[in-house]
Amino acid sequence: MSLPSLPSAPLGDLRGSAARWRRRHLLDRAMRWGLPLALLVVLFPLFDMIYWIAVRALPTFTWATLTTDQVGLGGGLYAMIVGSFTLLALATGFAAAVGIAAGMYTAEYAPPSIARWARVAGNLLAGIPAIVLGYFGYYALVLYTHWGYTTLAGGITLGVFMVPFVYRTADLAFANVPSEQREAALAMGARPGQYLVRVALPIALPAILSGVFLAMAIGLGETAPLLYTAGWSSTPVAGLFQPTSFLTGAIWNFYDYPSTEGSFQALAFQAAFLLLILVIGLNVVVQAVAERYRRRTRGMMA
Amino acid sequence: MTGPEPGPVGPEPILSVRHLSVRAPNRTILDDVSLDFCDREVAAIIGPSGCGKTTLVRSLNRMTEVAPGVRIEGSVRYRGEEIYDPRVNPVLVRQRIGMVFQRPVPFPLSIYENVAFGLRLQGIEEAEVDRTVRRSLEQAGLWKELDGDVERSGLTLSGGQQQRLCIARALAVKPRVLLLDEPAASLDPTATQRIEELIFDLRKEYAVIIVTHNMQQAARIANRTAFLYQGRLIEYSDTHQLFENPREKLTESYVTGRFG
């Protein structure tokens, strides 16, 4: 259907000035190209880095890389893998236990003034440079305790580094439970503790878990909290009070090693590649858990 | 449904409110309210938004004090016992005097566990829990409707079913009084009718106190009706009288729709 032709009216009212129209047109053009370009600049380093590391790690990456100890200037990453996972397990245990309990207290029990102060302090702790925390760990857990460099000192220091991430998500997850749920539970004769365990925890758990996984992904990639606390060992971790090696340490120690054969450097790239895979994997888990959380609480948060 | 007749006022009301005032930091929500509620009757509380209806019912099972900064004065006696006595355990008060909220609030548990919630808190043994859950769901008209499929999540039910689930959950702990705060406000007419029928039945065993915005609803189901205005109790009498022959001018203007 065509529009009925209208008697021609003097133009101008609807057109505005030509110069202004041109300016807007140019601005639109600039935005149309500029914004995607900005996104490209954001994402480029990620893909460049993955490529750069894969190219150097993959040619020499074999099953043996994962299963053999470091020998002389070569060998595999076995000791570092075991060390990293031992440290991560200790750190996650510490961070999850302390972080969730503190989040529960902040969201449910703490007087508002204390809760506000604690949230600020938690954010502050998350912003402390890892190397400063590493030095604190060295002072408190290596020197003061007379333990020396130990797996336990490394695990706890890494745990302290991870705590604020768990704490923040746990606090938020409990605080985001709809207040009607709390009222309904109390009206059923539940005490605050019973409400927390039976109603709030199941609702908040997926969000808390995604916080824990996120903290694990961040902790797995950290070097600084471990450098002055966990020590180093070319054989797999022998006990909590023995030193241990770890994957990020391989990069730190081997990357600039003046080796003509280059196998030490290859080891550094293989460690970097493995870390990248693990961190990406953990992030995928975080997304999956978060999605599940959204689906589960739909209809409750309306 | 036709409106029920009010029974004779018994010698001992199940709940008796005397000089109840509730104050927030900068305003008075309830101002010197006194009235009695009888067993096995439905009492409706009506009034315009913000008149204190919700606060009044929440004060009857000590849910007002859940909000910080609220001061409560006066007395509420449950079968002669002061519920605001410092030696009284609010948890027990809330078990005797159950409450259902305006929006249905199923816990993120199965239908069965939702109803079992209060029983588990009391540590009641499994066989008894099982019997009570079934009977409560039957009372709320859900057992047949769901064909006994009570293992799925309570969140999967429709809004009206969720609200009846919440009523079943409140009934499971065997309260004597049931407080309903606009239980049908978020429901469609069919679901509302089912709730009203349910309330009509519940009257045979419980004292039901219902807050409602809907005057027709009050007229249909309540034996007695209280009219609140700006935190004060204006009139409390049997429903027919309140709607057809109110004593107070203010009540008359409200029930005839001149404001509200």
**When comparing pLDDT for A261 and A254, which is higher?**
A254
CB distance B107–A185 less than 8 Å?
Answer: yes
User: pLDDT at position A66, please?
Assistant: 85
CB A60 within 8 A of CB A270: yes
CB distance A186–B94 less than 8 Å?
Answer: yes
DSSP state of B178: E
User: pLDDT at position B52, please?
Assistant: 92
Residue A23 lies in a domain: no
d(C-alpha A55, C-alpha A61), whole Å: 10
CB distance A181–B118 less than 8 Å?
Answer: no
CB B119 within 8 A of CB B128: yes
Residue A51 lies in a domain: no
Whether pLDDT at A1 is above 60? no
With residue B72 as reference, give the H or E element that holds it.
Answer: strand B71-78
Residue A63 lies in a domain: no
User: pLDDT at position A132, please?
Assistant: 92
DSSP state of B156: G
d(C-alpha B238, C-alpha B4), whole Å: 10
Nearest beta carbon to residue A188 from set B108, B121, B155:
B121
CB distance B99–A187 less than 8 Å?
Answer: yes
CB distance A181–B122 less than 8 Å?
Answer: no
Asked if A201 reaches chain B (Cβ–Cβ under 8 Å), the answer is no
Helices (H), A58-145: 63-67, 78-104, 112-127, 130-137
Chain A residues close to B66, C-beta within 8 Å: 183, 186
The residue whose two tokens read 């953990």 is: A282
Nearest-5° Cα angle at B58, B53 to B64: 115
User: pLDDT at position B10, please?
Assistant: 57
- Token pair of B171 as six digits: 């009934």
- In the stretch 116-175 of chain B, residues with CB closer than 8 A to chain A read 117-118, 120-122, 155, 166, 169-170, 173
The count of residues in chain A is 302
User: pLDDT at position A65, please?
Assistant: 84
The count of residues in chain B is 260
- The predicted-structure confidence for B103-119, as pLDDT tens digits, reads as follows 899 998 899 999 999 99
- β-bridge pairing B224-229 and B42-46: parallel
Whether pLDDT at A3 is above 70? no
Residue A269 lies in a domain: yes
CB distance A183–B170 less than 8 Å?
Answer: no
Nearest beta carbon to residue A203 from set B101, B108, B166:
B108
Residue A81 lies in a domain: no
**Mean pLDDT across A50-58:** 90
User: pLDDT at position A298, please?
Assistant: 58
| Contacts (Cβ under 8 Å, ≥6 apart) of A10 | none
CB A102 within 8 A of CB A170: yes
pLDDT (tens digit, 0 to 9) for every residue of chain B, 260 residues total? 344 555 555 557 899 999 999 999 888 999 999 999 999 999 999 999 889 999 999 999 998 887 778 899 999 999 999 999 999 998 889 989 999 998 899 998 899 999 999 999 888 999 999 999 999 999 888 998 998 889 998 888 998 999 999 999 999 998 999 999 999 888 888 889 988 998 988 999 899 999 998 899 999 999 999 999 999 999 999 999 999 999 999 999 999 888 76
Question: Shortest Cα distance from B169 to chain A (angstroms)?
Answer: 8
Indicate the pLDDT class of residue A266, thresholds 50, 70 and 90: confident
Total tally of structural domains belonging to chain A: 1
d(C-alpha A246, C-alpha A253), whole Å: 10
Three-state DSSP at A178 gives coil
DSSP state of A105: I
CATH number, position A294: 1.10.3720.10
Which residue type occupies B209?
A: I
CB distance A189–B61 less than 8 Å?
Answer: no
Burial of B132: CB neighbours in 10 Å, binned 0-12, 13-18, 19+? buried
- The predicted-structure confidence for A229-240, as pLDDT tens digits, reads as follows 988 888 888 888
Residue A187 lies in a domain: yes
Average pLDDT over chain A, rounded to an integer: 87
**Mean pLDDT across A162-168:** 96
User: pLDDT at position A4, please?
Assistant: 62
d(C-alpha B163, C-alpha B245), whole Å: 34
Residue A27 lies in a domain: no
What is the secondary structure of A121-155 as a DSSP string?
Answer: HHHHHHHS-HHHHHHHHIIIIIITT---S-HHHHH
Question: Number of CB pairs < 8 Å for A and B?
Answer: 61
Residue range of the domain that includes A167: 95-301
CB distance B173–A189 less than 8 Å?
Answer: yes
Indicate the pLDDT class of residue A253, thresholds 50, 70 and 90: confident
- Token pair of B77 as six digits: 């006696």
Residue A56 lies in a domain: no
User: pLDDT at position A164, please?
Assistant: 95
- The predicted-structure confidence for A83-127, as pLDDT tens digits, reads as follows 999 999 999 999 999 999 999 999 988 998 999 999 999 999 989
d(C-alpha B169, C-alpha B133), whole Å: 8
Indicate the pLDDT class of residue A301, thresholds 50, 70 and 90: very low
Could you tell me which of A164, A188, A162, A192 has the C-alpha nearest to residue A177?
A192
Q: Kindly report the backbone phi and psi dihedral angles of residue A73, in degrees, each rounded to the nearest multiple of 5, phi listed first.
A: -95, 5
Q: Kindly report the backbone phi and psi dihedral angles of residue A64, in degrees, each rounded to the nearest multiple of 5, phi listed first.
A: -65, -25
d(C-alpha B20, C-alpha B232), whole Å: 10
For the beta carbon of residue A93, count every other beta carbon within 10 angstroms.
Answer: 13
d(C-alpha A162, C-alpha A224), whole Å: 13
- The predicted-structure confidence for A11-33, as pLDDT tens digits, reads as follows 556 666 778 888 888 999 999 99
